[in-house]
A and B are shown apart, each in its own frame.
Chain A
Amino acid sequence: MANRGGPGGRPNGTAQQQQGGGGGGRICQFKLVLLGESAVGKSSLVLRFVKGQFHEYQESTIGAAFLTQTLCLEDTTVKFEIWDTAGQERYHSLAPMYYRGAQAAIVVYDVTNQDTFGRAKTWVKELQRHASPNIVIALAGNKADLSNKRNVELDEAKAYAEENGLLFMETSAKTAVNVNEIFQEIGESIVGLFVLVVGIQICRSEQSRLNYVSKIVYSLWYRK
């Protein structure tokens, strides 16, 4: 019934679970949106993650605003559908459609530019207002290779992230530091949530639900 072009699938959908052939395990598909000021390196992060490339003079985003990449986490294949802002963030003109159905977001700032960190906080608030309540948000301090010109302290960002329940890493699209890692962590975090939600739905009795939740919480706690 859903009518869409291309095999890419369902950007607005909730997590999909399919039994994968051969490779075993399940496949989860998620919509991930990028946010942050212009020129902090949103597109560069994605380009590094999806294609392993970096261009020093990356043009403002044109043409490729919808990329996909898969990650394998133990028995789960995570397929990210990554939405770039296509420049619509510049004059605060992002459409509500952009946030719609997103299960994850990376809010990017530039470690050499304090303003972009301030703006990142505004984007986080925006997400909390517009996006679904259980969205996983990661904060990325990009351009970590320029840390000698740093204007945003690592501890400051870390403290802010912890206070607001965000995943956090300093990344460099240029040197690839922490790029795969941040996507990996997001993937694990969503899959964890997903397993939890599906698991709760499967449990029939109140008691088994309680047992299940406490088991998950216990395992998450000790993995940290």
Chain B
Amino acid sequence: MDEEYDAIVLGTGLKECILSGMLSVSGKKVLHIDRNQYYGGDCASITPLEELFKRFGAPSPDETYGRGRDWNVDLIPKFLMANGLLVKLLIHTGVTRYLEFKSVEGSYVYKGGKISKVPVDQKEALASDLMGMFEKRRFRNFLMFVQDVREDDPRTWKDLDPNTTTTQQLYNKFGIDKNTQDFTGHALALYRDDEYLNDPAVQTVRRIKLYSDSLARYGKSPYLYPMYGLGELPQGFARLSAIYGGTYMLDKPVDEIVIENGRAVGIRSGNEVARCKQVYCDPSYVVDRIKKTGRVIRCICLMDHPIPNTRDALSTQIIIPQKQVNRRSDIYVSQVSYTHQVAAKGWFIAMVSTTVETDEPEAEIKPGLDLLGPVKQKFVIVSDYFEPTDNGLESQIFISTSYDATTHFETTCLDVLDIFKRGTGEDFDFSKVKLELGEEEQ
């Protein structure tokens, strides 16, 4: 390791692995280190099951849980939007070839104490009990507007410039009631709270389009989930980085980032120093350069049945809009199962998560837990949400933010693309991914 690198990346969470891959592909000489002996950091899928129980200080699982090796339990629940940024990154970098995905079977939204399926086609929409007959007609007009509107073409605006009007004004124009607003903003546009109502409507329009474009790809829901768990994602991007020359060291303690004249010039591990021009890392490697801006609670629930009232779906998402339970931020429930190779046969893993608002985070997720039915084993994680205190341009230390409570990877990718741009001064050029990579077909 006593060499000079263009960039040293610390931590092998998803963000760091994507960054490492992009840097290597761009021709940079990269050293990628993790203090743990496994890939993924907070994004790892824990295996075997015994390891998960040990992590939370619980006694070893009994034999009803099947073989421990059949389990790969995520610590952070998320799905991929089928037409979202992460899928684009995966396809353009060729990392898809290392992974296999399943479409998530159903998406549900909580209303008035029970859950209803988010309609995926006209038939389901007509049958849905989410709104009344007249409201459905108004909502349909709204959706048609969203589909047809072009941000830069005033002829499609219908006297309403989406760049200057707010989402609230847009709702009002179509006469959409509060319940439907809740559904649209939280279950389709996937906002976590209600602040978006006063932001330009164009953002909401984009988000609804992302939802419907993602839905259009596979039909059942807009979400995808990788076989063997989310921990496969960082591994895939790490492999991309390695293929383009990145050097990998796991199980390597990092004692210090070496600073000269206010700039990072290397890292020290024991007596060894690796020199570099830049450092990219997750917040845990630079505790003095980050600030806590919130907390997220995530609860892992192991169950021997699917979530009730989801038509026995093997994978599901349920969104509990904040207003329904008198909160400021939504509660998310996600469930995957043995069919994704993340649990032993017959087992299901549900996760309930939200942004923490009170001193009793566990009480906050109760509405989500109440939907699950009997739970065999529950593990609660309350983690701080960190942001870097500066943009890294001066120190050349580029720090990612912690993973937020959103159910998908859009904010994750935006952070990565932003860091890449700050670090290299340019947007990532996908054309640098050589197509001969693999030379699959002769």
Q: Which residues of B contact A90 (CB under 8 A)?
A: 247-248
Contact across chains for B440 and A68 when beta carbons are under 8 A apart: yes
Interface assignment of B97: CB less than 8 Å from any CB of chain A: yes
Number of contacts between A and B (CB, 8 Å)? Answer: 111
Q: Which residues of A contact B131 (CB under 8 A)?
A: none
Interface assignment of B103: CB less than 8 Å from any CB of chain A: yes
Interface assignment of B243: CB less than 8 Å from any CB of chain A: yes
Report how many residues on chain A are interfacial, defined by Cβ distance under 8 Å: 33
Contact across chains for A5 and B96 when beta carbons are under 8 A apart: yes
Interface assignment of A24: CB less than 8 Å from any CB of chain B: no
Q: Which residues of A contact B224 (CB under 8 A)?
A: 3
Known: A62-B243, A64-B437, A93-B249. A1 touches B218 (CB 8 A): yes
Contact across chains for B436 and A1 when beta carbons are under 8 A apart: no
Tell which of B189-197, B230-238, B273-281, B412-420 binds the partner.
B230-238
Q: CA of A106 to CA of B397 in the docked complex: distance in angstroms?
A: 41
Q: Which residues of A contact B121 (CB under 8 A)?
A: none
Q: CA of A91 to CA of B34 in the docked complex: distance in angstroms?
A: 12
Contact across chains for A13 and B437 when beta carbons are under 8 A apart: no
Contact across chains for A66 and B97 when beta carbons are under 8 A apart: yes
Contact across chains for B94 and A2 when beta carbons are under 8 A apart: no
Q: Which residues of A contact B434 (CB under 8 A)?
A: 63
Contact across chains for A7 and B441 when beta carbons are under 8 A apart: yes
Q: Which residues of B contact A86 (CB under 8 A)?
A: 239, 242-243
Interface assignment of B91: CB less than 8 Å from any CB of chain A: yes
Interface assignment of B87: CB less than 8 Å from any CB of chain A: yes
Contact across chains for A93 and B248 when beta carbons are under 8 A apart: yes
Interface assignment of B244: CB less than 8 Å from any CB of chain A: yes
Contact across chains for A62 and B101 when beta carbons are under 8 A apart: no
Contact across chains for A5 and B247 when beta carbons are under 8 A apart: no
How would residues 52 to 73 of chain A score, 1 for a CB under 8 Å from any chain B CB and 0 otherwise? Answer: 0000000001111111110000
Hey, which bits of chain B sit against chain A, CB under 8 A?
39, 47, 82, 87, 90-91, 94-103, 218, 224, 227-228, 232, 235-236, 238-239, 242-245, 247-252, 434, 436-442
Given contacts A5-B97, A65-B438, A93-B250, 16 further A-B contacts (CB under 8 A): A3-B224, A4-B96, A7-B441, A8-B97, A12-B98, A12-B100, A62-B245, A63-B243, A64-B439, A86-B242, A87-B247, A91-B252, A92-B250, A95-B235, A96-B39, A97-B239
Closest A-B pairs by Cβ, 5 of them: A66-B438, A8-B440, A86-B242, A93-B248, A95-B235
Hey, which bits of chain A sit against chain B, CB under 8 A?
1-8, 10-13, 61-69, 86-88, 90-93, 95-98, 100
